[in-house]
Structure 1
Amino acid sequence: MVLAALLLVTGCFAAPQQDAGNGRLNVVMMQPPRSALSPFSDDAFKLSRLGIAETLVNLDADGNPLPGLAASWRQAGPVEWEFSLRPGVRFHDGTSLNAAVAVNALQRAAQAQPKPRILDGVELTVTEAGPDRVVVRTATPDPMLPQRLSSPQLSVLATAAYQPDGTVNPAGAGTGPFVLTELRGSQGASLERFNEHWNGPARAPGLDVSFVPDGAARAAALRTGTGDIVEAIPASQAGLLEPGTFTEVPMPRTNTLYLNSRPGGVFGDPGLRAAVREAIDVAPIVSGPYENRADIAQGLLGPAIPWSAQRPPRSGATPPAAARGERITLATFSDRAELPEVAAILEQQLERAGFQVELVVREYSQIETDALDGRFDAFILSRATVLDSGDPAAYLRSDFACDGGFNLSGLCDPAVDAALREAEGEGDMRTRRAKILEAEREILRTDAAIPMLHERVVQGNAPGVQGAAFDPRERMLVQRDTRKGAE
């Protein structure tokens, strides 16, 4: 049994432990945890990227479901799915995976406040159907339920992880190839190899993780050899790196300007939202901050989703109104190095269009709550569009449905909601994709979100490091086979 505890400390940035040939991997991540690695938050993606926690279902490169902690499944009825658990799975605390444990994990997620965004608009109940079988029922037919259960926010943790006060402590509670043994607040974490992993022990003996919001510092870690695997190197730093030490990955990630469309604000006026749409020139953003390592957006979904090129022409655009000195607050976050520069360019463009702009830039952990509360008129977000389920419908609902859990723009449009319901209820994949593109067109008609560009993320990989994942969906990074050299 592995005993683990979270140790929260404060202090300045601590560099990763220097490797003296012991095979440990120094991993440099962009954003620090915001919720002590709770799976019900975006921290869940750190649990999967670091090999701590696993889900019932995995996804292949095309977004099709594959076995994970569930070895198989079947649809038992219009709203009922049965999942058979993989035998021989043990948690880091020595307990075994069974139906009761899986039911507890999924029920806790369904009852969490706030609910994980993958469950936005979804009501589900989970019951045991035997020692190793779990039945999941939804209030309405959900043809994408297996893909939904692949979200890291629905990771299955040992029963002891779930605290009486509703918090979740993942230390020593996952099933992945690495055990979380220490979380040092926003500074870093330590992980050790889990020798009892159901698919065999990891090749690397452990991980030393640093959270480094500053992009130049992350690139420096790769150049100086203190980082073996480095997340999200800024485009401006990529040219300073040695060839062969980084990979440019086309991402299903869109840099979008969300406009606060709530009644009473400046952009409650559709004509002024249209004025912003007309004022934005993306070309200098792509050639400037992104140094041409990005693609100008034609919609919310980009070239990493090939079928999005079949989108219908836009229609129903509102004519732009004339801005007459309206004061607006434009906000973004500093964790992605390009975004403050993007904001500065947009500030100039919007002021030329007649707005008076106040610019706000903070770290993401310090600005997300205010953005969700509608405290800004405009917010620039680098947003993954298939992050949760591998299916863009989940992202569109979360961001643009009236009851969406990540509705930064406060959009509440009956036509948008109807189009989203049509897309979400469709089981035939070809038809579903066409309906997703119809929903995208309805969203773009409102000008509540103005897509600017699709990013290509640069990931650093030091010489000799093998087996790191270059995952467009940003779910995987360190895997069971990730290692230094032939270790």
Structure 2
Amino acid sequence: MRVPVRFLPLSASAAALALLTGCFSATGSGDAGAEGGRIRVAMMQPPRSGLSPLSDDAFKLSRWSTAETLVKLDAQGDARPALATGWTRSGRSWTFTIRDGVTFHDGSKLTAEAVVRSLTRAATASPKPRILDGVDLTARADGNRVVVTTAVEDPLVPQRLSSPQLSILAAKAYRGKTVDPVGAGTGPFELTEVDGTSSASLDRYDDYWGGRAEAPGIDVTFVPDGTARAAALRSGEADIVEAVPVSQAALLDEDLITEVPMPRTNTLYLNTAKGAFRDPALRAAAREAIDAESIVKGVYEGRADVAEGLLGPALPWAAELREPVSRAKAGRPAGRTITLGTFTDRAELPEVAAALQQQLQKAGFRVKLDVREYAAIESDALAGEFDAFLLSRATVLDSGDPAAYLYSDFASDGSFNISQLADASVDKALRKAGETPTGDDRRAAVVAAEAAVLATDAAVPMLHERVIQGDAADVVGAAHDPRERELVTAATHLG
């Protein structure tokens, strides 16, 4: 059943908008919203770690085009030059040539020593940035080159170095106990001011190595309330709004919103080690019982994509390589009782779980729901306490490569193996995917590993999420990035 959407009363919406208006008016140089003026951005989540690049706040620095990395990723997820112009590999070591003519926002020059300083700070941080979890990495300067060495051979080193968590900053950023990115990046916009968790300001950096930015600056306001963010776009108080809620999208002009496929899949994990779903035929029965299309239409109001596999449209090459998978024939549930777990932290999941309960009961299962906050349910899910577990799972981690996700979730020794899967053919396919060098061969190996997992019915992918971004009518060149690494670029401006 579709739960009715409840909107804020008019007075509450007006109050939120008034607060937001005050925030935007307090920042910038006064030409916000004018033709060729500063770009006003309403972002969902405020900084959690003072905009330290060693945290998830790094993605904000990347989306504002203020901090840059040695490498960037193209649409296929392949590594391309950024602050490094090229690289070579020899066993466990990779040598990166540093771009000439780059300056930090404080006027100091980008050198190999500066790169080593940033990478070493990240590699020795406690805790390490997520992209270096389990990776032992060292860096040393060699003239205008940097040699990066890992404890074991790692074909993903260039992709890892594309993570915003490994941004290269000036020496001034590292003078305190925490990393301070203000005035320390290399991008087309200089971060000039941060007002706690309320706002941030950036000015165009005219000496940017890639050419002068189109816009004179960016004024950012952090607006956790989705209704207020959408209201800011409707009223013209914001030029770019990230993460417009599904419930608000219908109230906006369709020309102002863009739905961006996310590398995130809603998947039903089935416990292969014990209970009803130890039987492959009953796993097949559960798969056949699920009507993902009705969930997309009912819960997500059509703003999601029905899954054909674990990897969705944010990775377009997966669909191009995917072939039909042979699966077990469905058996008869015969009233078997199963417990389905999920969590409340993502608003749609309890509603999806209720829809799944009805669909599975119609097929002959008896279904009990267990819905809690994620922090209270994760340990039970990983311990195999549920027959089925509904999860919204990111399929591409910080390296831009899905092999790590597949291994974590479906290898016999995977750290996030909710399905309790232990299958020799799956393990073999996952190892091959992880060891294959990047490029077409690795993509083919990843899709083969996905097929091996799907053949077991240990996981039933249902839908791929989208994020809804709002751009005012006069915004030109805003980025719509599935990996959420870009938002305002040097080419973005108000027309």
TM-score (norm 1): 0.80
Identity %: 54
Tell me if the contact between 1:384 and 1:473 (Cα under 8 Å) persists in the aligned partners.
no
1:51 matched to which residue of 2?
A: 65
Question: Which structure 2 residues correspond to residues 403-418 of structure 1 after superposition, within 5 A?
Answer: 407=416, 409=418, 413=422, 415=424, 416-418=426-428
1:8 matched to which residue of 2?
A: none
Distance in 2 (CA, whole Å) between partners of 1:111 and 1:279 is 49
Correspondence for 1:242 among 236, 245, 253: 253
2:316 matched to which residue of 1?
A: 306
Distance in 1 (CA, whole Å) between partners of 2:277 and 2:47 is 33
Offset of residue 225 of structure 1: 1.1
Tell me if the contact between 1:157 and 1:173 (Cα under 8 Å) persists in the aligned partners.
yes
Offset of residue 118 of structure 1: 3.1
- Structure 2 vs 1, CA of residues 188 and 98 (structure 1 numbering), >3 Å: closer, same or farther? same
Distance in 2 (CA, whole Å) between partners of 1:402 and 1:94 is 51
1:118 counterpart = 2:131? yes
Partner AA of 2:432 in structure 1: E
Correspondence for 1:438 among 448, 459, 471: 448
Correspondence for 1:477 among 468, 487, 491: 487
1:354 matched to which residue of 2?
A: 366
2:99 matched to which residue of 1?
A: 86
Offset of residue 93 of structure 1: 3.9
SS in 2 for 1:459: strand
Distance in 2 (CA, whole Å) between partners of 1:41 and 1:259 is 29
SS in 2 for 1:355: strand
2:149 matched to which residue of 1?
A: 137
Question: Which structure 2 residues correspond to residues 59-208 of structure 1 after superposition, within 5 A?
Answer: 59-75=73-89, 77-130=90-143, 132-162=144-174, 167-208=178-219
Tell me if the contact between 2:265 and 2:395 (Cα under 8 Å) persists in the aligned partners.
no
Correspondence for 2:38 among 21, 24, 29: 24
Structure number with greater Rg is 2
Deviates more, 1:296-305 or 1:213-222: 213-222
Distance in 2 (CA, whole Å) between partners of 1:346 and 1:238 is 25
Distance in 2 (CA, whole Å) between partners of 1:452 and 1:136 is 40
**Structure 2 residues without counterparts, runs of 5 or longer:** 1-15
Distance in 2 (CA, whole Å) between partners of 1:302 and 1:394 is 16
Distance in 2 (CA, whole Å) between partners of 1:94 and 1:345 is 57
Partner AA of 2:70 in structure 1: L
Partner AA of 2:150 in structure 1: T
SS in 1 for 2:65: coil
Offset of residue 451 of structure 1: 1.8
Deviates more, 1:466-475 or 1:303-312: 303-312
Correspondence for 2:220 among 197, 209, 216: 209
Correspondence for 1:462 among 472, 481, 485: 472
- Structure 2 vs 1, CA of residues 480 and 381 (structure 1 numbering), >3 Å: closer, same or farther? farther
Offset of residue 392 of structure 1: 2.3
Offset of residue 453 of structure 1: 1.0
Offset of residue 341 of structure 1: 4.1
Offset of residue 194 of structure 1: 3.1
Distance in 1 (CA, whole Å) between partners of 2:124 and 2:337 is 46
Tell me if the contact between 1:177 and 1:194 (Cα under 8 Å) persists in the aligned partners.
yes
Distance in 1 (CA, whole Å) between partners of 2:334 and 2:175 is 54
SS in 2 for 1:232: coil
- Structure 2 vs 1, CA of residues 445 and 463 (structure 1 numbering), >3 Å: closer, same or farther? same
1:288 counterpart = 2:305? no
Give the superposed CA RMSD.
3.6
2:7 matched to which residue of 1?
A: none
Offset of residue 81 of structure 1: 1.7
Distance in 1 (CA, whole Å) between partners of 2:190 and 2:114 is 19
Tell me if the contact between 1:262 and 1:268 (Cα under 8 Å) persists in the aligned partners.
yes
SS in 2 for 1:87: coil
Q: Paired residues, what number?
A: 460
SS in 1 for 2:146: strand
Offset of residue 292 of structure 1: 2.3
